[in-house]
Structure 1
């Protein structure tokens, strides 16, 4: 949906973008990367207004920062 602006589930082109941001008291749409609100990776949500399907994306330049912070944490 990010690039095609078409829902992969229902085919609707009625897509909205919810921009990623960090808010007060831990609110917002982001991945924490450090101890401050300034060390975050914003997460952008794409929402289909036809069926409610959503996708979440982070900017390409944030991928390595997220990987460096979280790689290996989910391993058992």
Structure 2
């Protein structure tokens, strides 16, 4: 959805981007990698307005932070 601008389930072009957000106590759509919201990696959601399918994406520049924290 992010790259093709098409829903992979129904083929619709009617998509929404819901930006990732980090709020108090880890709320929002994010992955915490530290103890404060400033260390959160945001997860963006793409939503198909036709069938309701969703995808979640992390920005490529945040992948090294995730690998450092979770790649064991």
TM class by shorter-chain length? over 0.9
Compare the two structures and name the one with the higher helix fraction: 2
Supply the RMSD in Å over aligned alpha carbons: 0.8
Unaligned runs of 5+ in 2: none
CA contact (8 A) 2:26 2:32 kept: no
TM-score, L = length of structure 1: 0.89
Structure 1: unaligned runs, 5 residues or longer: none
Structure 2 equivalent of residue 42 of structure 1? 42
TM-score with structure 2 setting the length: 0.94
Q: Runs in 1 of length 4+ with deviation above 4 angstroms? A: none
Q: What is the aligned length? A: 72
